[in-house]
Chain A
Amino acid sequence: MSDFGPLKLHVPEPVGRPGDEPDFSYIDIPEAGSVRMPAVDADAKDMRDLAYTMIRVLDDNGEPVGDWAKYVDDEMAMKGLRDMLKVRAFDARMFMSQRQGKTSFYIQCTGEEAIACAHQMALEKGDMNFPTYRQQGLLISQDFPMVDMMCQIFSNEKDMLKGRQLPIMYTSKEYGFFSISGNLGTQYIQAVGWAMASAIKGDTKIASGWIGDGSTAESDFHASLVFASVYKAPVILNVVNNQWAISSFQGIAGGQQSTFASRGHGFGIPSLRVDGNDYFAVYAASRWAAERARRNLGPTLIEWVTYRAGGHSTSDDPSKYRPKGEAEAWPLGDPVERLKGYLVKKGLWSDERHEQMVAEIEQEVLDAAKEAESHGTLHSGPKPSTRDMFEGVFKEMPRHLREQRQKLGV
């Protein structure tokens, strides 16, 4: 007789499913300002605690507090507010365009706007992001033309990617935005390679890699951490923990056992865990990591704690797998409201001015959408040429592709 009972497989479950009340008691939220800011050249082993806490700047009264509040700047706050509102309005409009059949697909980043918008402010011209599909704020905060983004979404005649790519998979070398791929995690190690190249050439540019909580389970996440650590690559390794990967909660990616930030520890990579809905905290942590990278002190891993307020994509219905009202119950609040709260408290902003700005931005987005639509939408109006389908597979078109193009008669 064995003294062992039968083994049981542990399959993590989220605290709530449809019909349940939202419950975020699993997330410990330290007081804003309570986490210290180490020197940029601090040793990874002397800052391990920072992977298990949460860097926060704005307190519940909209007051910036603590070490990480040192970069708070009102002009930047105004810009941040505008950028985030633009992203939100852009998302809302494009979501609607998908529902109207003007495109096949869209992905919103509602609730996560602060992360990309504030992070981009900490980068410099020439640095390169390797984003996922949920960092449209990196482009919008740089005033990348919205019409161009929309033309890509509509796959129309002005689509910069000639209709070859699924909506939202933008690319812009000029704006430091690497070509988005549908394959999760692949771009994370590419960011490390890009950073290695910058170091090989003795450049001063840095890379910023992006991944979601779910995708940290991909093998390329591990590869990225090994390479970044071995070569001390000038790269920021961002993990956007929005609690969900389509219908899987972050526990399915290993988030119940430890924080995502703590993954950096085994590789000796300094790792921060940050309130992702706090524009100032995002900026300060990004700046800290960017400076480390630029001073050749190596990579930093940052877990941004946030919540995916919308569905995964236009093809997803979150009411099928998570409690209603989770976004409203999310304890870190809404990034736009929190930054607005700060500005109002300082007497720099008001509800009226805010409403006016929202209306202005909605108009701007609507105008951009009208212009983009005048160049065609997925099923109507001008399209990219069929000939373009064959271009760009190789630098020069080889014979077999020329023959195939001729077969199609274009």
Chain B
Amino acid sequence: MARMNMIEAIRNAIDLSMGQDDNVVVFGEDVGFFGGVFRCTEGLQAKYGKNRVFDAPINESGIIGAAIGMGAYGLRPVAEIQFADYVYPAIDQITSEAARLRYRSNGDFTSPLTIRMPCGGGIFGGQTHSQSPESLFTHVCGIKTVMPSNPYDAKGLLMAAIEDDDPVIFFEPKRLYNGPFDGHHDRPVVPWSKHPLGEVPEEAYKIELGKAAIRREGNDVTILAYGTMVFVAEAAAEETGIDAEVIDLRTLLPLDVDTIVESVKKTGRCVVVHEATRTSGFGAELAAEVQERCFHYLEAPVERVTGWDTPYPHAQEWEYFPGPARLGEALERAMEA
């Protein structure tokens, strides 16, 4: 066992994947010599050479388009988009091409890509360094969408994503890179070295895509969370004293419906939480699934605690970010209903 923060765990996953499979190549803006603006690919170019780890021109559609071509050749590209907020120029390549290549060619060509991108707020990133565009991808048939919440999962999920033969969007909540964050921005950051999930085996391992994890067992209400919100959910449960069961979805698509349904049938209440804006966010899909599958077990309406339907502001960071207080109120409403 080693102690790793999320950056180190991600770097370690890529390193091991590159060591195992010569077809794994890594590229993106500033990922080569410099090792990435968040250091996730530091040292990899020195270790594997410029042929396998290299800088790309600043063109997201170009990065993903080229990766699709490489995938069609037989490589296993791991492409980085510097911030999830800058994935939009590549949306055409992801949705019209990578996601559909297997289907439209009846398997003649496939797109075994992993597209890594730092996402999420809580860092005073303003409008274009804070977004959570996951629902744009869960709405696209043919891609898998993953978002880890801790170093242990980040490594295991990333190794699984790289090995997966389908295109995977791999969101990395950058607020969690150095330590867990429960929304209490006024308290000092606790590093991953003080958290059990910062213990990461040095050898290769995978966490199956499509499997959620229960972070906190409880009987009163189920909280469906992912990314940074997992820690917000744990904090809200402790602070309200409500015995919430916190589910970390880890993979949004394919979704681990069984774990969700089992929990909601037990608790009879469900609160969904995400940083992304509310309308047509992934929470709407979760709420609908719970309503369809658990209708007779529900004792309260499914609540959604989300970012507001505004662009992500700068000065109003903590009024925007769904912190433990806002989630706590929703838990109380759910319990009163």
* A188 cross-chain contacts in B, Cβ below 8 A: 65
Contacting A at CB under 8 A, from B282-329, are none
B38 contacts the other chain (CB 8 A) = no
Q: Which residue of the partner chain A has the closest CB to B96?
A: A183
- In contact, A230 and B103 (Cβ under 8 angstroms): no
Instruction: Indicate the member of B68, B75, B96, B105 with the most A CB atoms within 10 Å.
Output: B105
With A193-B65, A398-B254 in contact, is A179–B70 under 8 Å at CB? no
With A183-B96, A219-B89, A226-B57 in contact, is A190–B69 under 8 Å at CB? yes
- Chain A 213-249 near chain B by CB (<8 Å), digits 1 or 0: 0000001101110110010000000000000000000
- Count contacts on B: residues with CB < 8 A to the other chain: 44
B104 contacts the other chain (CB 8 A) = yes
Q: Which residue of the partner chain B has the closest CB to A223?
A: B62
With A193-B68, A200-B52, A399-B257 in contact, is A183–B108 under 8 Å at CB? no
B241 contacts the other chain (CB 8 A) = no
- In contact, B62 and A226 (Cβ under 8 angstroms): yes
A197 contacts the other chain (CB 8 A) = yes
Choice from B69, B70, B92, B102 contacting A392 with Cβ under 8 Å: B102
With A224-B62, A227-B62 in contact, is A191–B69 under 8 Å at CB? yes
* A128 cross-chain contacts in B, Cβ below 8 A: 72-73
- In contact, B69 and A169 (Cβ under 8 angstroms): no
- In contact, B254 and A400 (Cβ under 8 angstroms): yes
- In contact, B96 and A186 (Cβ under 8 angstroms): yes
A393 contacts the other chain (CB 8 A) = yes
A407 contacts the other chain (CB 8 A) = no
* B103 cross-chain contacts in A, Cβ below 8 A: 164, 392-393
- In contact, A194 and B96 (Cβ under 8 angstroms): no
With A190-B66, A197-B74, A398-B254 in contact, is A173–B102 under 8 Å at CB? no
A104 contacts the other chain (CB 8 A) = no
- In contact, B165 and A200 (Cβ under 8 angstroms): no
- In contact, A200 and B96 (Cβ under 8 angstroms): no
- In contact, B96 and A219 (Cβ under 8 angstroms): no
B166 contacts the other chain (CB 8 A) = yes
With A200-B51, A393-B142 in contact, is A190–B102 under 8 Å at CB? no
- Once bound together, how far apart are the Cα atoms of A186 and B10, in whole Å? 30
Q: Could you name 24 residue pairs across A and B whose Cβ atoms are closer than 8 Å?
A: A164-B106, A171-B104, A186-B93, A186-B96, A186-B97, A189-B62, A189-B66, A190-B65, A190-B72, A190-B97, A193-B69, A196-B66, A196-B70, A197-B69, A201-B73, A219-B89, A220-B62, A220-B93, A227-B56, A393-B102, A393-B142, A395-B110, A398-B254, A400-B254
Q: Which are the 10 A-B pairs with shortest beta-carbon distances? A: A193-B69, A193-B66, A189-B65, A223-B62, A197-B73, A179-B105, A190-B69, A194-B69, A398-B254, A171-B105
Q: Which residues of B come within 8 Å of A, CB atoms?
A: 25, 51-52, 56-57, 59, 61-62, 65-70, 72-75, 89, 92-93, 96-97, 100-110, 141-142, 144, 165-166, 210, 253-255, 257
